[in-house]
Amino acid sequence: MVTWNEAASREEGVAQARALFTQTFGYEPEGIWSAPGRVNVIGEHVDYNGGPCLPIALPHRAYVAVARREDRTVRLVSPQTQEEVDVLDLDRVAPRGQEGEVKNWAAYLVGVAWALEQAGYGPLPGYDVALWNCVPRGGGLSSSAALECSMAVALDELAGCGLAGSADTPKEEGRKILVDACRRAENEIAGANTGGLDQTASLRCTHGHALELDCLDMSATPIPFDLAAQNLELLVIDTRAKHSLNDGQYAARRADCEEAARILGVDLLVCVKDLESALEALNEERLRMRVRHVVSEIARTRAFVDLLKEGSLEGERLKVAGALLTDSHDSLRQDYEVTCPELDVAVDAALAAGAYGARMTGGGFGGSAIALVDAGSGGGVAEAVAAAFEREGFMEPHFMIAVPEGPAGREA
């Protein structure tokens, strides 16, 4: 028996968020906004090194029903917390580790308001918020970025900042500003030292496309990614293994990269042009491993994007695309050391069941893997992965088919 994690329809998300708001606060919200989770097709742990990434937005979204208040109080509720509404004061919000730090999921929502004010967009009003989220939590699919970005477009409209535009006609420069605010919320208020990949995907991806994101200058180019038209599909395997980006492991990898860049005399590892010379210049094997992954992953990502631009993934192009995905996982497993037994078993089982390529996606240490498979074969591959998990005594994995969706915006 395979468990599929289906996305809620937009109508259901809106209805759930509105109902929770009115039930909790006793009046109607001013509007409802949403933002998607994401899958990164390839380009892992290179965003904070200035490299290219290739995310798509998922149909799974976080929905926020919001209304302004006359004071600086923020009241937050979700289905998990409706017995106890979180109440915070915008004047007392502070970064992690300081007096006024915000705990748990509230950090993502309140952190965006704090970051916007830090960037000069304020003072903002207080607000009441009801959150309803169908992005799997802890699955490495950027549920935190979905929370941040849904809140960002809501605050942008309610406070009259005018940065986002609509989902159909987005303002790219304004959305870059919102990406930075959401990233600061995650880094400084929630305490996860991530790059801007997740927030950019949630705010700037478009329907039917992957986003070629250059993290050196944050320029983004939509690349057609209609796998169904090529008789393919992208299976997402949520291992349900514990996944957290603020437990120190993610920060340690980033620190390794920064130390290696300092020794090599470059600002970011994307500036490394000769991998062999760089490896010879590093004395510590740990740093050599990190650099080898980052530089090779940058090359793999550029090669994968070139394949998409050349034409349909079929024949030799499909074979090479699959190999690039699998090589990415091997590098993340061996050189970057961010996989886990569940991720490795998921990838190996998917490949054995006929996937063209498979890899972990997201920060690692748990979370999800993806597999590029023939259209209609995702169910069979999922069954093979589930059987492998059962043999290993792992928690039952969940599955979805990833279809590229649109960015954060107003729903109602």
Model confidence at 201: pLDDT above 70 = yes
Confidence of residue 144 (pLDDT cuts 50, 70, 90): very high
Indicate the range of 71-80, 205-214, 237-246, 334-343 predicted with least confidence.
237-246
CA distances from 228 to 9, 218, 231, 376, 398 (A): 20, 29, 5, 10, 21
Q: Band of the pLDDT at 95, cuts 50, 70, 90?
A: very high
CATH class of the domain whose range is 228-402: alpha beta
For residue 123, is the peptide bond before it cis, meaning its omega torsion is within 30 degrees of 0? yes
The pLDDT value recorded for residue 243 is 65
pLDDT at residue 17 in the model: 98
pLDDT at site 194? 81
Averaged pLDDT, 185-204: 92
- When pLDDT is cut at 50, 70 and 90, the band that residue 247 belongs to is low
Residue 91 clears pLDDT 90, i.e. is over it: yes
CA-closest candidate to residue 145, choices 238, 247, 207, 61: 61
Average pLDDT, the chain: 95
How many CA atoms does the CB half-sphere of 193 hold within 13 Å?
12
> Residue 244: is its pLDDT beyond 70?
no
| Model confidence at 245: pLDDT above 80 | no
Q: Where are the domains of the chain?
A: 3-224, 228-402
Mean pLDDT of 13-24: 97
Task: Just give the CATH number of 3-224.
Answer: 3.30.230.10
**Per-residue model confidence (pLDDT) at position 246:** 56
Is 335 annotated in the active site? no
SS3 of the chain: CCEECCCCCHHHHHHHHHHHHHHHHCCCCCEEEEEEEEEECCCCCCHHHCCEECEEEEEEEEEEEEEECCCCEEEEECCCCCCCCEEEEHHHCCCCCCCCCCCCCHHHHHHHHHHHHHCCCCCCCCEEEEEEECCCCCCCCCHHHHHHHHHHHHHHHHCCCCCCECCCCECHHHHHHHHHHHHHHHHHHCCCCCCCHHHHHHHHCCCCEEEEEECCCCEEEEEECCCHHHCEEEEEEECCCCCCCCCCHHHHHHHHHHHHHHHHCCCCHHHCCCHHHHHHHCCCHHHHHHHHHHHHHHHHHHHHHHHHHHCCCCHHHHHHHHHHHHHHHHHHHHCCCCCCHHHHHHHHHHHHCCCCEEEEECCCCCCEEEEEEECCCHHHHHHHHHHHHHHHCCCCCEEEEECCECCCEECC
Q: Examine the pLDDT at 242 and tell me if it is beyond 60.
A: yes
pLDDT recorded at residue 271: 98
pTM for the structure as a whole: 0.94
Q: What is the mean pLDDT of residues 178-205?
A: 93
Asked if 172 and 190 count as a contact pair (C-beta separation under 8 A), the reply is no
Do the strands 127-133 and 73-77 form a parallel or antiparallel pair, or are they unpaired?
parallel
Which is catalytic among the residues 86, 128, 198, 335?
Answer: 198
Give residue 387's pLDDT. Answer: 98
